């Protein structure tokens, strides 16, 4: 079993604690790899190296260097994509086919931002005959990138690639459960020799130790975090003490709103796919299916059929469509939500832990569909982060909008109808950062995403995602005329 070290100041080194932590295969309970259990002292060394790199290397001011480094990293990942996908599948538990999709999406994010590194533009204006204004975009400085375990490769690159492209230096703190796949990516970057020491660093360990030390360090200028709303609130509170910039993508409880004139089978199957992928452990999961009353029972039947047809299995099996959830703790949390749904509504299908071989050593649960629960029920209001679809009924466009907006979240949403006037009308009224019409979970490196309400702050991807990692400075010139 491989032990990965921290990457600080251009060198691999163990934590000052001398301790490691294990990532566990969610399907078998076996250890996959070891990473460092780091200390605040390790964070201090990384921050000092980052500050030195930002102030003394050419990285912030040489766009073609940044472009070449990101492009070369994408090429290296491409060359090792199958081995990386297998490690991701073993450490995270997602099906190997999904792991390959994630690796490919991360490569795309790197390639897009390798181009954008040479397109960090400002603008000028000429307000009076003797004056010129120059609005210049500059890198922020030292950025802490704190990543989750559910899509650890894509969500790393979604923030890290534009962070580096804009000229910043970065310290990455991955989730404990997926430190190995993150370190494997860093090994490829280190071999390139294109990132000056201190520009790109990795410190693994517990969030309450490493994450807190990064957020509270006076020499960290920005924190980019993807994860739960509750942890994001804590990061925002700590960062506020230093008036530190934050970019947060947090939880979601996203609706698919299905009108009677839609292609119902396509709408329901797409919604089900979105909530059962990654075993529901994805912030953009379409975990709520809002269906017009006249086709409600038909939609329930389709959802039941889809859930019962899914092949739940071992992650490296090519035929597996849904794997285990990440941990025993997460599984028990999901089951507690299901019991609440059972008490206040009805279980259409699923709802049980899978315990027979080969599931007996892992964290497997049946794909679950719940219906007829009131809007104030926890399964409607809270992010379950598991393979649980909640189906709700509406009778009018007004009610559909009210129900869709009835949670504290506002990350993404889907609308299904053949009436494009209604589609755009409803889309404008939904409180969500992304609204898909007659589709779902269609994400692109060049299209911004982010949340309303308790789903976060700022935008990732696209031009705005790049500019999220810049400061805008006004330089004014007065001429002698």
Cite the active site residues. Answer: 249
303 membership: H or E segment, kind and range: helix 296-309
d(CA 284, CA 19): 35
The residues, ordered by sequence, that sit 6+ positions from 297 with a Cβ below 8 Å of its Cβ are none
Contact status, residue 145 vs residue 168, Cβ threshold 8 Å:
no
The residues, ordered by sequence, that sit 6+ positions from 428 with a Cβ below 8 Å of its Cβ are none
Given 3-state DSSP classes, what are the helix, strand and coil percentages for the chain, each rounded to the nearest 5?
Answer: 40, 25, 35
d(CA 348, CA 287): 15
3-state DSSP assignment of residue 124: strand
Which residue reads 């480094």 in tokens?
Answer: 69
240 phi/psi in degrees, rounded to 5: -65, -25
16 phi/psi in degrees, rounded to 5: -65, -15
- 435-472: b or e for each residue (b if 16 or more CB lie within 10 Å)? bbebebbebebeebbbbbbbbbbbbbbbeebbbbbbee
d(CA 370, CA 23): 32
Which residue reads 């209604």 in tokens?
Answer: 422
Contact status, residue 201 vs residue 8, Cβ threshold 8 Å:
yes
Contact status, residue 438 vs residue 423, Cβ threshold 8 Å:
yes
- Other CB atoms closer than 10 Å to residue 240's CB: what's the count? 10
Ranges assigned E (strand) in 364-448:
368-371, 388-394, 409-410, 412-416, 434-437
d(CA 251, CA 254): 9
460 token code pair: 């990732």
Which residue reads 């430190």 in tokens?
Answer: 179
Rounded to the nearest angstrom, the gap between the alpha carbon of residue 269 and the centroid of all alpha carbons in its chain is 23
Ranges assigned E (strand) in 190-264:
200-202, 222-226, 245-249, 255-258
d(CA 109, CA 283): 19
Task: Please tell me the total number of residues recorded for the chain in this structure.
Answer: 481
d(CA 88, CA 179): 10
């Amino acid at each position: 079993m491989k032990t990965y070290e921290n990457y600080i100041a251009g060198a691999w080194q163990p934590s000052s604690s001398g301790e490691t932590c294990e990532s566990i295969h969610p399907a078998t309970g076996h250890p996959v790899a070891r990473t460092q259990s780091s200390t605040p002292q390790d964070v201090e060394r990384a921050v000092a190296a980052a500050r030195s790199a930002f102030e003394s290397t050419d990285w912030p001011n040489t766009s073609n260097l940044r472009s070449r480094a990101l492009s070369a990293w994408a090429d290296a990942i491409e060359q090792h994509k199958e081995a990386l996908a297998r490690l991701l599948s073993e450490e995270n538990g997602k099906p190997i086919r999904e792991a390959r999709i994630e690796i490919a999406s991360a490569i795309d994010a790197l390639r897009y931002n390798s181009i954008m590194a040479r397109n960090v533009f400002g603008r000028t204006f000429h307000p009076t005959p003797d004056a010129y204004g120059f609005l210049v975009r500059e890198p922020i400085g030292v950025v802490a990138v704190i990543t989750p375990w559910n899509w650890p490769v894509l969500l790393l690159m979604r923030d890290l690639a534009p962070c580096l492209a804009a000229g910043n230096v970065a310290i990455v703190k991955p989730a404990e459960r997926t430190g190995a796949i993150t370190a494997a990516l860093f090994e490829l970057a280190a071999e390139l020799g294109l990132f000056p020491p201190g520009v790109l660093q990795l410190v693994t360990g517990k969030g309450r130790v490493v994450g807190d030390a990064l957020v509270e360090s006076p020499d960290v200028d920005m924190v980019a975090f993807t994860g739960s709303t509750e942890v994001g609130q804590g990061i925002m509170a700590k960062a506020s003490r230093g008036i530190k910039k934050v970019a947060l993508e947090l939880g979601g409880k996203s609706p698919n709103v299905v009108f009677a004139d839609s292609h119902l089978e396509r709408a329901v199957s797409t919604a089900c796919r979105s909530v059962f992928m990654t075993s529901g452990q994805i912030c953009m999961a379409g975990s709520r299916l809002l269906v017009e009353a006249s086709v409600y029972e038909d939609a329930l039947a389709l959802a039941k059929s889809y859930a019962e047809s899914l092949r739940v299995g071992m992650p490296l099996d090519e035929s597996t469509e849904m794997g285990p959830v990440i941990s025993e703790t997460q599984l028990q949390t999901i089951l507690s939500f299901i019991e609440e749904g059972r008490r206040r509504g009805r279980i259409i299908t699923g709802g049980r832990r899978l315990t027979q071989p080969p599931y007996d050593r892992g964290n497997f649960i049946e794909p679950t569909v719940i219906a007829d629960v009131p809007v104030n029920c926890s399964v409607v209001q809270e992010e379950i982060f598991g393979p649980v679809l909640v189906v709700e009924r509406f009778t009018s466009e007004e009610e559909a909008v009210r129900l869709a907006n009835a949670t504290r979240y506002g990350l993404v949403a889907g609308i299904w109808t053949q009436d494009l006037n209604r589609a755009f009308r409803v889309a404008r009224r939904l409180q969500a950062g992304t609204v898909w019409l007659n589709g779902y979970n269609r994400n692109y490196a060049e299209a911004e995403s982010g949340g309303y309400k308790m789903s976060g702050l700022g935008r990732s991807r696209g031009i705005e995602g790049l500019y999220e990692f810049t400061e805008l400075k006004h330089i004014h010139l007065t001429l002698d005329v």
